[in-house]
Chains A and B, each alone.
Chain A
Amino acid sequence: MTRQTILNATHRAAGAKMVDFGGWDMPLHYGSQLEEHHAVRGGAGMFDVSHMTVVDLRGNRTREFLRHLLANSVDKLKVSGKALYSCMLNERGGVIDDLIVYFLSEDFFRVVVNAATRDKDLAWIERQAQPFGVSVTERADLSMIAVQGPHAREKVLSLLDADDRTRIGKLGKFVAGEARGPDGTELFVARTGYTGEDGFEIIVPEAHAVALWNALAATGVKPAGLGARDTLRLEAGMNLYGQDMDEDITPWEAGLAWTVSLDEGRDFIGRAALEKQKSQGVPRELIGVVLEDKGVLRHGQRVITSAGEGEILSGIFSPTLGKSIAFARVPAGSRGNLRVDIRGRELALRPVKYPFVREGKACI
């Protein structure tokens, strides 16, 4: 049975082409994926991300529990509202999921995990939380709308209660705060996103999500679908779970070393395996690549290197750059003579540092 967000009828009324995504019936685009991409890079777009799973963790030992659960260190979270991106690993160091965790108070943290991994994530978190006496509550009563782009913040701020506007306007990057929206709706507003643009991700009670969406649309924010979300996040150099990493891939092999904190004395799940792999040498790595020829890099295409074969992970036509870009997993250290096999033809790949695009500007 495919699940629907509360905005489903709103998407359909707007002419969205719907697709199944992780068991959810979601908008792929509302006419043109490319136009939606450019709307976010040049102005403000919004995404229904209510399929993502909000989980509240409560209990006196919540921080201690998260020190154990996550590969990044929640000890970096010192101020209420501050957020952290982290992987949640299995004992082998493989990635169960990537997530954002918000510190709200010592006995209350909130995590947002992916939709497609909801069931296994909840089961894993509940199992690990038990010894710490931490309660795990899925917040299915909440919806989420991401508003992204250079004009996104001012559009959202214009809808907030005047008393909250200045405070939310001053939120730093990766920080969240509570605010009242249209008709006094209680909102959780986070300065986070998945596009490489500034903006907010807003958690809103489900009953008020349609009204908030419509209010945003009335200020000129353009609805954007999962297609544009994918091209925006890859241009921004952000990983997608399931495509760029999974339970058999460690953060070292997925370009996510920056999210792992080997802080002294912290025994997180997967740490031993990560340290072992690091000392033995990581066999594969994730790199950014650009195709200068015509064609589109796509998931699963074979990559040929002087050190052996690899594959394309996330691959797209980049609307901002006008050429195809991708993440590839290749044998460690391969940079020379990279080629991709597209429909039987070998085309040259140029390895590049990512992000490919940041705040509307090409970085490669």
Chain B
Amino acid sequence: MSEIPGDLKFLKSHEWARVEDADQVRVGISDHAQSQLGDLVYVELPNVGDRVEAGNACAVVESVKAASDVYAPVSGVVAAINEALGDKPETINEDAYGDGWLFVVKPDAEAKEQLEEMLDPDAYAELIEGDEH
């Protein structure tokens, strides 16, 4: 289990969000999530320009074991997607909090409140403690 970076916020459904500036929230799945899924083989991302709503499914990560929806942590418009994952989905297994990011959202005004409702790294670590082997 790798260290959880301190600048991340989490959903209970194992997505992370990183506020990089007022116009840019980067989103991925947690290291715990990738470890539970096993080797990833496909990633289905939204298109740049798509609107995403907080709490709605907007991407799919598929592993050798299962397909799993990815929920948007904040509402806004997709500003960038990680195209490199098309050829190398295993990047998520290798670096879930770095090169394995999924997409970037340009958040709406209400995103601030949505971010405040998310779990901080300590609360997330506590949440997943029960799942660890």
Residues on A lying within 8 angstroms of B by beta carbon are 17-18, 28-29, 32-34, 227, 231, 294-296, 298, 316-317, 343
Contact = CB atoms under 8 A, between A and B. Distances in A.
A296 B133 contact: no
Contact of B39 (A34, A295, A298, A343): A34
B67 A32 contact: no
A317 B44 contact: no
A33 B90 CA distance: 12
Given A17-B38, A296-B41, A317-B41, 7 more contacts: A32-B39, A32-B93, A227-B65, A231-B64, A294-B42, A295-B42, A298-B66
Contacts of A18: 133
Nearest to A230: B64
Contacts, number: 35
Given A296-B41, A296-B42, A317-B41, A34 B64 contact: yes
Contacts of A32: 38-39, 93
B62 interface: yes
B67 A33 contact: no
Contacts of B90: 34
Nearest to A16: B133
B38 A33 contact: yes
A233 to B, nearest CB: 14
Contact of A316 (B38, B60, B64): B64
Contacts of A231: 64
Contact of A343 (B41, B65, B67): B67
Nearest to B93: A32
Contacts of B60: 343
Contacts of A317: 41-42, 62, 64
Contacts of B66: 298
A316 B64 CA distance: 7
23 contacts: A17-B133, A18-B133, A28-B38, A29-B38, A32-B93, A33-B39, A33-B64, A34-B39, A34-B64, A34-B90, A227-B38, A227-B64, A231-B64, A294-B42, A294-B44, A296-B42, A296-B62, A296-B67, A298-B67, A316-B64, A317-B42, A317-B62, A343-B60
Interface string B64-98: 11110000000000000000000000100100000
Nearest to A318: B41
A33 B34 CA distance: 13
Most buried by A among B38, B42, B64, B90: B64
Nearest to A36: B39
A316 B39 CA distance: 12
Interface string B97-133: 0000000000000000000000000000000000001
A298 B41 CA distance: 14
Nearest to B41: A317
